[in-house]
């Protein structure tokens, strides 16, 4: 099977500042690709480029064999790219259930009649069934993070971009969310996952991509990547310092 | 709700002429404000140029009735049709603009048309046109056309909100960028709303100017129109279906009560608007809904 996502020499400037530079990598069908990098390495910008929220200044993005570099964010979502935000951004004046409906009706293109049972299924998966008719703006952080995953899942993605699902939560809460992510992977969804360094090692991602200053530092087997000289330097500083 | 609608629909049977006039104005302001609410409250399009469609609607009934002897109902429909054409043309330019630039862009179009119409011999320059309808309408007949538009506009927005389009619009209202990443076709939906609002606003304007008997560019294309719409929607509750109903009732009531004190009436309207924004930023209906958790025309999914 071909790679689900191929990114080729992607470039993005903010004014004169080069934030993503000649970035190339691929995501294989069904794998979890972990993404690491210090603050400002361009991780979230990379997500914004893949979903189309930001327009690339150079390079191309091939999703499932189709060049989507010029497509609108809405079309990319319909083609199967879902995402979560690091700081959850639910539709605050809509209920939890309605949030999921938006994903199912607009993202997955379902009719509302068919979307309703599907949304209930997602509610169960993210364990938010009791909060179904609550306004999303009134949820606590854990529930917001669950909804973030659920809403992305409701768009029926083939590729899910997860931006730091674990930040700000206790260990038990993180456990709970990880179970949900695992279930999503079992459904055959490929995942690109920005997360804290220790989590990556413990959660057994298939491959690791390390970014620094908008460039690709390393990409490959997690153990190999973490022991490489430049990644060590990036995180711990070089010996001469 | 049904009882209120029935009461409103039978005003000519039990009310005085003054009441008929009062509720006639209420229905028209409700219609136009409901459309502004669809734009500003749901689609994130703050149009300061809705008067452009009021002007077009007014001139359509005048020109179609006077010059071509077209049936009055068709003339009103033509007002809606010309408004949609103009809205399509405007969208080529203003839909490239975002936020406040969009607002100013719409306003500029209204000003351009005001200048154009006041220099156009076909519509008798700034003097304006008297409106002769074919056939002539009684006050009650005019009232019923306004009634249909008023009730129709509320029903229309309600059905839009219950539809796929409405689900997307509510998501856009809460967060436009995120809604687009969730597959909502933001650009297309905004355009739909802009065209729908132009159509209904253009028709309501025709009815209003039939009642006024006279249409003149400096009044028809005046920003005063939009100021009233903003007042109605903000006071009533932006982004709620019931808000414009309450807002329109308050505006028409106040402008009747204050009609004798024209110079201070704007001051009083302004003071009320400021008070409501400070005390209840979501407007009267928005605040009531938040407090009581209860909506009469609820677009909620269960």
Domains, chain B, in order of start with CATH, read: 2-292 (1.10.3470)
Question: Does A87 touch chain B if contact means CB atoms closer than 8 Å?
Answer: no
* pLDDT given at position A8: 95
Q: What is the pTM of this model?
A: 0.91
Q: Of A50, A42, A43, nearest to A14 (Cα)?
A: A42
- In which region does residue A191 sit, left (phi positive, over 0), alpha (psi from -120 to 50) or beta (all else)? beta
Sheet holding A215-220, edge to edge: A81-83, A159-163, A190-194, A32-36, A207-212, A215-220
CATH class of the region A14-89+157-236: alpha beta
Q: Hey, are the CB atoms on A106 and B179 less than 8 Å from each other?
A: yes
Contact residues on chain B for A85, CB-CB shorter than 8 A: 178
pLDDT band at A174 (very low <50, low <70, confident <90, very high): confident
Mean pLDDT computed over B223-227: 93
What number is the average pLDDT over the span A160-185? 87
Q: What is the pLDDT of residue A25?
A: 96
Looking at beta carbons, which residues of chain A come within 8 Å of B161?
none
Residues of B in contact with A95 (CB under 8 A): 300-301
pLDDT over threshold 60, residue A150? yes
Who has greater pLDDT, A235 or A79? A79
Alpha carbon distance, N-terminus to C-terminus of chain B: 21
Mean pLDDT of the region B192-204:
98
Q: How does the average pLDDT of chain A come out, rounded? A: 90
CA quadruple A196, A197, A199, A204: dihedral sign: positive
Q: What is the mean pLDDT of chain B?
A: 93
- Please check the confidence at residue B164 and state whether its pLDDT lies above 60: yes
Closest-CA distance, A232 to chain B, in angstroms, reads 35
- Does residue A241 surpass a pLDDT of 70? no
pLDDT at A197 over 70: no
Listed by number, the residues of chain A in 112-171 with a beta carbon closer than 8 Å to a beta carbon of chain B are 112, 116, 133, 151, 155
Angle in degrees, CA A34, A37, A41, rounded to 5: 125
Question: Average pLDDT for residues B204-213, to the nearest whole number?
Answer: 96
Place A113 in a pLDDT band, splitting at 50, 70 and 90.
very high
Between the alpha carbon of residue B178 and those of residues A74, A91, B174, the distances in Å are 10, 8, 9
Question: Is A172 part of the contact surface with chain B (CB cutoff 8 Å)?
Answer: no
User: Chain A closest CA to B171's CA: distance in Å?
Assistant: 6
Alpha helices by DSSP H, listed for chain A, are 43-51, 73-79, 96-102, 112-125, 141-154, 171-186, 197-202, 222-227, 229-236
| Chain A residues inside the 8 Å CB shell of B173 | 93
Helix H or strand E encompassing A156: none
CA nearest to A220, candidates A76, A79, A26, A45: A26
Query: How does residue B61 score in pLDDT terms, banded at 50, 70 and 90?
Result: very high
B242-261, pLDDT tens digit by residue? Answer: 999 999 999 999 988 888 88
DSSP character at residue A53: S
B136-158 pLDDT, tens digit per residue, is: 999 999 999 999 999 999 999 99
- The whole-number average pLDDT for the span A193-199 is 76
- Whether B166 has a pLDDT exceeding 80, the answer reads yes
Compute the average pLDDT of residues A120-133. 93
pLDDT at B134: 86
User: Per the structure block, which two tokens stand in for A61?
Assistant: 């993005």
Chain B interface, best mutation among A106, A109, A129, by max B CB count within 10 A: A106
Instruction: Say which range, A179-183, B52-56, B144-148, B250-254, has the weakest mean pLDDT.
Output: A179-183
pLDDT confidence tier of residue B90, bands split at 50, 70 and 90: very high
Distances (CA, A) of B207 to A91, B137, B145, B169: 38, 11, 7, 29
| Total residues found in chain A within this entry | 241
| Confidence at residue A69, expressed as pLDDT on a 0 to 100 scale | 95
Site from B180, B183, B302 to mutate, A interface, most A CB atoms within 10 angstroms: B183
Residues of A in contact with B298 (CB under 8 A): none
Reported ipTM: 0.90
Judged by CB atoms closer than 8 Å, whether chains meet at B177 and A53 is answered as yes
- Amino acid A203: pLDDT: 66
Which pLDDT band holds residue A91 (cuts at 50, 70, 90)?
A: very high
User: Tens digit of pLDDT for each residue in A72-85?
Assistant: 999 999 999 999 99
**Percentage with pLDDT > 70 across chain B:** 100
């Amino acid at each position: 099977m071909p790679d689900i996502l191929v990114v080729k020499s992607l470039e993005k400037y903010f004014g004169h500042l080069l934030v993503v530079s000649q970035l190339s990598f691929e995501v294989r069908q069904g794998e979890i690709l972990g993404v690491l990098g210090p603050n400002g390495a361009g991780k979230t910008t990379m997500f914004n480029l893949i979903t189309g929220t930001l327009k690339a200044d150079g390079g191309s993005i091939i999703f499932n064999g189709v060049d989507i570099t010029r497509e609108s964010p809405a079309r990319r979502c319909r083609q199967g790219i879902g995402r979560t935000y690091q700081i959850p951004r639910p539709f605050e004046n809509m209920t939890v259930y309605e949030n999921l409906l938006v994903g199912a009706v607009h993202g997955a293109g379902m009719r509302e009649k068919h979307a309703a049972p599907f949304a209930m299924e997602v509610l169960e998966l993210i364990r938010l069934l009791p909060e179904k008719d609550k306004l999303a703006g009134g949820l606590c952080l854990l529930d917001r993070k669950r909804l973030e995953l659920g809403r992305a899942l409701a768009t029926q993605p083939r590729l899910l971009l997860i931006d730091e699902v674990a930040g700000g939560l206790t260990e038990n809460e993180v456990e709970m969310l990880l179970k949900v992510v695992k279930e999503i992977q079992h459904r055959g969804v490929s995942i690109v996952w920005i997360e804290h360094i220790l989590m990556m090692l413990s959660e057994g991602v298939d491959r690791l991509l390390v970014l620094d200053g908008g460039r690709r530092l390393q990409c490959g087997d997690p153990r190999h990547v973490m022991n490489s000289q430049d990644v060590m330097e990036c995180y711990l500083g070089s010996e001469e310092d | 709700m049904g009882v209120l609608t029935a009461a409103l629909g039978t005003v000519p049977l039990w009310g005085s002429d003054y009441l008929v006039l009062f509720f006639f104005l209420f229905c028209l302001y409700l219609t136009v404000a409901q459309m502004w609410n669809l734009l500003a409250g749901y689609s994130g399009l703050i149009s300061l140029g809705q008067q452009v469609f009021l002007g077009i609607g007014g001139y359509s009934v005048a020109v179609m009735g006077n010059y071509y002897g077209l049936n009055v109902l068709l003339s009103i429909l033509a007002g809606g049709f010309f408004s949609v054409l103009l809205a399509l043309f405007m969208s080529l330019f203003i839909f490239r603009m975002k936020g406040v630039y969009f607002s100013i862009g719409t306003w500029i179009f209204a000003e351009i048309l005001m200048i154009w119409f006041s220099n156009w011999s076909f519509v008798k320059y700034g003097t304006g046109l008297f409106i002769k309808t074919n056939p002539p309408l009684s006050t009650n007949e005019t009232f019923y056309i306004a009634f249909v538009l008023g009730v129709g506009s509320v029903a229309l927005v309600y059905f839009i909100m219950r539809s796929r389009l409405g689900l997307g619009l509510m998501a856009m209202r809460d967060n436009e960028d995120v809604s687009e990443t969730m597959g909502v076709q933001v650009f297309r939906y905004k355009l739909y709303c802009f065209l729908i609002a132009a159509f209904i606003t253009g028709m309501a304007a025709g009815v209003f100017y039939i009642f006024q008997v006279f249409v003149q560019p400096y009044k028809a294309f005046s920003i005063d129109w939009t100021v009233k719409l903003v007042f109605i929607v903000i006071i009533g509750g932006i982004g709620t279906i019931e808000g414009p109903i309450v807002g329109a009732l308050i505006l028409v009531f106040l402008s009747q009560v204050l009609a004798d004190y024209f110079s201070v009436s704007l001051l009083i309207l302004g003071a009320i608007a400021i008070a409501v924004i400070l005390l209840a930023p979501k407007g009267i209906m928005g605040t009531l809904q938040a407090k009581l958790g209860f909506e009469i025309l609820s677009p909620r999914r269960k």
